[in-house]
């Protein structure tokens, strides 16, 4: 059984790999997913983000299975295996009315096998920003009969984001999803949109991949006003990494922060809103 930190590293690695693979395969529009049945009563969610959306919509009673990484003991929903390798036999045994997959996750979740066994599958589109997340949220709401509740939630989230005060001059924020190796985000990642909505600027927005690997030199020369690390527990690594570069501006001023991974990795309107608020609060702490 991996430790909590190792499990987080596994999930982060899978998160980076599957999104990078998606970027290389190419951009796509709407997918030809099978039309879901009306009022499905037994739904399996293979995406942690989709599961979180279902919880937020109050549609937990429709969930017949979810992946291990998003197991919530209080939900009493059956596990269908690991997020990065769901158990096909278990899924077939449950015999769901519908299986929900997010586009970001489809390449690690045996989608061709699901379709081969005749399971109804709905693939939700990519989540590039808040608006696309709201589009998927509305799709889930329509499938589960929660459209009215979804509009109330979306209105609340939009209002919260609109109330965020943004600095006149956006600080340059390098966001690291990993320290070993150094991995940042480009404009192809929803995390870059979070930075923008919080009032920051991503100096690697134009990178060719969604999650580019950085050299230490490119990070130090990025002109960053601050570095934000997604996961906790990297204090020693970061201090060791930057120990010989005390004159670099963001290091000298102590503008290195951690934000945690409770919300930022997930493609839901609620998690996006919380993440924008978190990044905004860190931007207010930047010494310039």
Dump pLDDT digits (tens) for 96-149. 999 999 888 777 777 777 878 888 999 999 999 999 999 999 999 999 999 999
User: Over the stretch 169-227, which tens digit does the pLDDT of each residue have?
Assistant: 999 999 999 888 999 999 999 999 999 999 999 999 999 999 999 999 999 999 999 99
The predicted structure's pLDDT at residue 12: 56
User: Over the stretch 162-180, which tens digit does the pLDDT of each residue have?
Assistant: 999 999 999 999 999 988 8
Please, which residues have CB within 8 angstroms of residue 258's CB and are 6 or more apart in sequence?
228, 229, 230, 231, 232, 234
User: Which pLDDT band holds residue 34 (cuts at 50, 70, 90)?
Assistant: very low
Please, which residues have CB within 8 angstroms of residue 274's CB and are 6 or more apart in sequence?
263
Please, which residues have CB within 8 angstroms of residue 31's CB and are 6 or more apart in sequence?
103, 123, 125
Query: Phi/psi of residue 44, each to 5°?
Result: -105, 130
Could you identify the residue written with the tokens 């796509």? Answer: 28
Average pLDDT of every residue of the chain: 85
Could you identify the residue written with the tokens 């690690």? Answer: 108
Could you identify the residue written with the tokens 């997010």? Answer: 102
The predicted structure's pLDDT at residue 26: 37
Q: Which domains does the chain carry?
A: 30-124+126-161 (3.40.50.1980), 173-283 (3.40.50.1980)
Percent of the chain at pLDDT > 70 equals 83
CB atoms within 10 A of CB 262: 12
Q: Which DSSP state fits 213?
A: B
């Amino acid at each position: 059984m991996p430790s909590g930190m190792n499990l987080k590293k596994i999930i982060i690695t899978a998160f980076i790999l599957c999104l990078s693979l998606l970027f290389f395969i190419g951009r796509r529009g709407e997918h030809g997913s099978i039309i879901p049945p009306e009022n499905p009563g037994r739904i399996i969610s293979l995406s942690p983000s989709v599961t979180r959306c279902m919880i937020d919509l109050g549609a937990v009673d429709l969930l017949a299975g979810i992946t291990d990484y998003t197991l919530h003991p209080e939900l009493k929903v059956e596990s269908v295996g690991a997020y990065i390798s769901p158990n096909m036999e278990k899924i077939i045994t449950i015999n769901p009315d519908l299986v929900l997959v997010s586009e970001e996750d489809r390449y690690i979740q045996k989608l061709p096998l699901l379709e081969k066994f005749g399971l109804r599958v709905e693939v939700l589109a990519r989540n590039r920003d808040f608006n696309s997340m709201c589009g998927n949220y509305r799709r889930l709401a329509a499938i589960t009969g929660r459209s009215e509740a979804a509009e109330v939630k979306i209105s609340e989230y939009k209002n919260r984001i609109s109330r965020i005060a943004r600095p006149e001059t956006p600080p340059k924020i390098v966001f690291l999803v990993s320290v070993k190796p150094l991995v940042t985000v480009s404009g192809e990642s929803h995390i870059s949109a979070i930075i923008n909505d919080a009032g920051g600027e991503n100096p690697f927005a134009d990178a060719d991949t969604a999650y580019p690997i950085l050299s230490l030199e490119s990070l130090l020369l990025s002109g960053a006003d601050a570095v934000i690390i997604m996961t906790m527990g990297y204090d020693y690594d970061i201090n060791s990494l930057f120990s010989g570069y005390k004159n670099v501006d963001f290091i000298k001023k102590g503008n290195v922060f951690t934000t945690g991974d409770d919300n930022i990795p997930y493609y839901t309107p609620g998690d996006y809103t919380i993440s924008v608020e978190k990044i905004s609060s860190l931007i207010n702490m930047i010494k310039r």
